[in-house]
Structure 1
Amino acid sequence: MIPIHIKNENKFKTVTIALKFKAPIDDKTITERALLSKILTKSTADFPTEQSLYDYLSDLYGAHLSSYVSKQKTAHIITISIEFINDKYIDEQLFDRCSQLLADAVWRPYLQNQAFDDQKVTQEKQLLAARFDHIKDNKAQASFQSMLQEMFAGQSYRFPSIGFADRLIDVTPHKLYQAYRSMLEQDEKSLYVIGDIDDTVRRSLEEKFNFSQQSIKLHTLDLPVKSNPSFVTEHATTSQARINMGMTVPVTYATPEYFSFIVMNQMYGGDATSLLFMNVREKLSLAYQIHSQIDARLGLMYVIAGVQNVTYKETVDTILEQLDLIKKGDFSTGLLSTAKKMLVSHRKENLDRPRGWIEQSYASTFDATVLTTDDWIKGIESVTKQDVMQIANEVNVQTIYCLAEEVKA
């Protein structure tokens, strides 16, 4: 029996049910899985056309069936969810009908001779191909992916969650069906429900989502400390240069260092009060946009910036200088206090959205230690200036990738 997590929350007029499938990141299957996540929400055995399914969702008072793929640690996650109006606000039994539709989308897809419909597969391949083209044309997204390829060379973490454009040609309706069977039989599964409901719905959900459960083992992410970062510059026709930096920090989830890392990133480039924004963008006018972001569970930090072509080298130096300021403690207590307040506020705001609660809850299953919201807030609030300085001195710059227009002499 798969775990079913139910959150009673009376602030929402809707109910959201999300089904998650977890597998190790694998370049051989990631493209098929990305396609699979979309095709499962476009038809079912009872509604074989996209229009018929759309009409049925309209009959369900505009219920929304959706899906997406993501990476969590070294896992590839398929999420399929449905959001609908709570039964309490209408004279309909929507919970049973919508939860059944979600189950049918997974259990009873529209198939032909143990394969997905050729026309639908072709259509989804075209849509994904268009998304790949968009990423390629978007210099910010493309340069970030190039940085990941360099930083995580030889490791599965470098693979994008939506797969690869050059693999689309090899995807067939039958191969997609094989990926579907593998997802059902081998993935680790979880179900999340949030809305103004109670635990009485559990039995019905157990019957509808009676999956066999698997426990998968994830690969570890191992990046040795570098004495000097890899510096990669590529040239292209672009109105502004793109800087992407990848860094590692040795932290363990739920430890004091984990919270110090989160606070340090917020001060470094987390929002408009950060050093990167205030100094690099506002004071020195070296960047059009700039911020830092982290994957705290894996101890990863990235700096992303759009800058002038002629000043990208100067900007790289200035970005690193801001990190040095934190290492030396050359920052105000006000910046530290603001960072902690903003983090707590963002956490609470995120939990005020159904998807926010689902993602936070699901993320907590990746570690043996479980942090409650109160534990997390206390951890953030306990971080001191010395803690921030100490964790900043543990930052190891792994990769600096720059995409810029070649300046001719």
Structure 2
Amino acid sequence: MIPIHINKESKFKTVTIALKFKAPLDENTLTERALLAKLLTKSTAQYPTEQQLYDHLSELYGAHLSSYVTKQNTASVITVSIEFINDKFIDENLFDQACQLLSDVINHPDTTGQVFNAGKVEREKQLLASRFDHVRDNKAQASFQQMLQEMFKGQSYRFSSMGIEEHLSEVTPESVYAVYRNMLENDEKALYIIGDINENLRASLDTYFNFEQSKIQLEPLKIKAAANPEYITEHTDTSQARINIGMTVPIKFGSADYFAFIVLNQIYGGDAASLLFMNVREKMSLAYQIHSQADARLGLMYVIAGVQNKTYKKTVDVILRQLELIRQADFPDELLSIAKKMLISHRRENLDRPRGWIEMSYASTFDDVKLSTEEWMAGIAAVTKEDVAGVAQSVNVQTIYCLANEVKA
């Protein structure tokens, strides 16, 4: 049986049930998984049109059905969830009806034989093609994706969870169905429920979500420290240059360095009090927007900025200089204090939302070490200036990708 995680939380008027499917990132199936995530919640065998399914959700007091695919660690994760009003506010057993619908979405999709409906697959392919066009036209998104392509050459991690545009024409109703069957049979699964419900409902959950469990192995990212960063500049017609910098740091989840790395990112470019924002954007007026973001579990950090075309090279130098300041512990004590308070506050805010609790709980399944919320907050609170400077010393700048207008001499 699959693991079932229940958070009995009385402050919500709704109940949220989310089913997670995890598979190793594979560029050969990424596009089908992205399409599958959309197809599953558009219709079922019992409700073969979007309108019929929408009408049924309306009968369930406006229940909300959703699905999405994400890239977590080196896995592709499909989430299918339903949110509905708690039974105690209505005179009806909505819990069982919602469970039945979510089960049908997964187990009884709108298929004929071993293929999905060709017309619906084609429509989703067109919608996905439009999303690819949007990314390509959005210079910020396109340049970040290009930086990932360069930084993770030869690894499926270089692709977005939305799939691969070049593969879209090869997708067929049969190939989507094959990926669907593979998901049911081989994905690692988990069920999350949050709301004011009783634990004695667990037996009925086993009935609705009676999936065979699989255990998958994720391949670690293979990326060597670079002696010198790879500097790539491409030219296009753009009103502002785009800078994307990819960095790595060797850390172990749950260690002192792990917490220091999270704080480092916050100090570097995590919010409006950070060095990148205050120095590069506010004081020097070199960036229209700038921030850093980190995947602490994988030891990855990125800087993303929109800057003036004529000063993008100078701005790269200034961005890297801010990292040097952190390595030398040359930043205010107040900034360290603000960073830790903001991180702990964000953690609490996430836990106050059903989806936030689900995603944070699920993220913990990727690690052998288990950290409670209290342990995580204590780890952040214990970080010192010396800890941040120490982990900054091990940050390796891998890839600097710039997209800019070609400046004529």
Deviation of the 1:11 alpha carbon: 1.2
Q: How does 1:118-267 map to 2 (within 5 A)?
A: 118-267=118-267
TM-score after normalising by structure 2: 0.99
Q: C-alpha distance in 2, partners of 1:236/1:90?
A: 58
Map Cα deviations across residues 353-385 of structure 1 (whole Å, 9 max, x no partner): 111100100010011111000000000000011
Tell me by how many angstroms 1:159 deviates: 1.5
CA contact (8 A) 1:241 1:312 kept: yes
Superposed CA deviations along residues 58-90 of structure 1, whole A, max 9, x for unmatched, are 111111111111111111100011111111111
| Residue type at the aligned position of 1:278 | M
Query: For this pair of structures, how many residues does the alignment match?
Result: 409
Question: Post-superposition shift, 1:113?
Answer: 2.2
Matched letter for residue 95 of structure 2: F
- Residue by residue over 1:149-203, the C-alpha shift from the partner in whole angstroms, topping out at 9 and shown as x without a partner, is 0000011211211101121111111111111100000100000000111211111
Are 1:147 and 1:400, in contact at CA under 8 Å, matched by a contact in 2? Answer: yes
- The amino acid of 1:84's aligned partner reads F
**Local SS of the residue matching 1:272:** coil
1:318 equivalenced with 2:318 (yes/no): yes
Q: Which runs of 5+ in 2 are unaligned?
A: none
Return the alpha-carbon distance in structure 1 between the equivalents of residues 316 and 184 of structure 2: 46
Amino acid at match of 1:396: N
> C-alpha separation between the residues in 1 aligned to 2:315 and 2:175?
47
**CA offset at residue 393 of structure 1?**
0.6
Normalising by structure 1, report the TM-score.
0.99
Residue-by-residue CA offset, 1:327-349 (whole Å, 9 max, x unaligned)? 11111110000100000000000
Corresponding residue of 1:103: 103
Which position in structure 1 is the counterpart of 2:273? Answer: 273
Question: Is residue 63–residue 85 contact of structure 1 (8 Å, CA) maintained in 2?
Answer: yes
**Residue by residue, what CA displacement relative to the aligned partner does 1:308-344 show, whole Å, maximum 9, x if unpaired?**
0001001000000000101111111100001000000
Counterpart in 1 of 2:366?
Answer: 366
CA deviations on 1:232-267 (whole Å, 9 max, x unpaired) are 000010010000000001100000000000001100
1:306 corresponds in structure 2 to: 306
Cα offset for 1:408?
1.3
The alignment yields a C-alpha RMSD, in angstroms, of 0.7
What's the secondary structure of 2:116's corresponding residue?
coil
| Letter in structure 2 aligned against 1:158 | R
- How far apart, in 1, do the equivalents of 2:350 and 2:281 lie? 27
What per-residue deviation string (whole Å, max 9, x for no partner) do you get for residues 270-310 of structure 1?
A: 00000000000000000000000000000000000000000
Work out whether residues 6 and 198 of structure 1, in 8 Å CA contact, stay in contact via their aligned partners in 2: no
Q: Secondary structure at the match of 2:99?
A: helix
Q: Residue 42 of structure 1 aligns with which residue?
A: 42
Partners of 1:242 and 1:271 lie apart in 2 by 19
Q: Which residue in the other structure is 1:72 paired with?
A: 72
What residue identity is the alignment partner of 1:43? S
For the residue of structure 2 that corresponds to 1:28, the secondary structure is: coil
Task: Map 1:378-389; keep pairs closer than 5 Å.
Answer: 378-389=378-389
Distance 1:385 1:165 in 2: 44
Counterparts of 2:16 and 2:30 in 1: how far apart (Å)? 26
Residue 66 of structure 2 aligns with an amino acid whose one-letter code is S
